Amino acid sequence: MSLLTEGLVKRGVDVTLFATADSETKAKLRSVCRKGYEEDKSLEPKVCECLHISELFEHADEFDLIHNNFDFLPLSYSGLVSTPVVTTIHGFSSPKIHVVYQKYNKRVFYVAISNSDKNDSLDYIATVYHGINLEQFTFQPDEGQYLLFFGRIHNDKGTVEAIDIARRAGMKMIIAGIIQDNTYYEQKVKPCIDGKQIIYVGSAGPGERNKLLGNAYALLHPINFNEPFGLSVIESMACGTPVIAFNRGSMPEIIMNAHNGFLVETVEEAVEAIRRVPSIDRFSCRKTVEEKFTAERMADNYVNVYRKILELTKRKF
């Protein structure tokens, strides 16, 4: 959202960003919480969420359009204002929340982050893929010597499967990411970490992320769920590093098999794909991101969405 906000400001759009007070932006910033509640445990999450959402909708008439990236809760306010609301659906946390989206289906405009994540019961005005700032990712023409798992440590992301793939391939693997499921980590991941073949380096900031991704032989992405999108996948490709991913969710929309990575169905197929990585032109990986997944392209696509909504609602832009 930061990249989108700054991209819109650069295009001359008058943007007000509703975010925490410590946010850095060239847009107008409004906040009710000093920082994120994951960073300040003294804050009550539900209180922050309620105050945050209400602050926006109580000032809805100040805006031509409201772009909601806060899941389903703001939808319940949308019927109380005349300002058009567009909601980017960043995946569905549970099928139980579908009923909220269905209730406001004809009132709110929905944007999907991949075609695979669309719900058949909803209408969508567009699909807009996430974009990244290419300047933060250095292209590395030469392949590295280790495999990389980059993402939250959770069964959904397939950390254990990645370890299994690396072991079967006889290659070193680095794991980087937050521990989202402590039980999963303690029982299934930690016992495999030996500091030699399987190494855990914790969460990586932008600088370290760039080095880890760029210097890797391949990124392993053996997901166990239908992932709406995969930021680490396009970040890896931006550095020139191919991705080996389980063929689920949005992966076929990002990975062109044998061109910028490999789509596989099993651990065994992933091991075989590792042997085929040298056949991938690393520049092709970078080119995919340059053509489809930049922050500039994302901002342009959203401007087109905004224009369409304002035309449909008879508002000026």
Q: Domain-by-domain residue ranges, the chain? A: 2-131+294-312, 134-292
Percent of the chain's residues with pLDDT above 70:
99
CATH number of the 134-292 domain:
3.40.50.2000
Give the position of tokens 């850095």. 24
Tens of pLDDT, residue by residue over 175-207, are 999 999 999 999 999 999 999 999 999 999 999
pLDDT value for 316: 60
Q: Determine the topology of domain 2-131+294-312 in CATH.
A: Rossmann fold (3.40.50)
Residue 95 per-residue DSSP state: G
Confidence at residue 157, expressed as pLDDT on a 0 to 100 scale = 98
Q: How far apart are CA 212 and CA 289, in angstroms?
A: 18
Instruction: Using a pLDDT cut of 90, give the percent of the chain over it.
Output: 95
Nearest to 276 by CA among 255, 258, 256: 258
Assess contact for 202 and 179: CB atoms under 8 A.
no
pTM of the predicted model as reported, rounded to 2 decimal places:
0.93
The mean of the pLDDT values for the chain is: 96
Task: Indicate whether 231 pLDDT > 90.
Answer: yes
Closest CA to 226 of 157, 127, 142: 157
CATH topology agreement for domains 2-131+294-312 and 134-292: yes
| Mean pLDDT for the stretch of residues 228-246 | 98
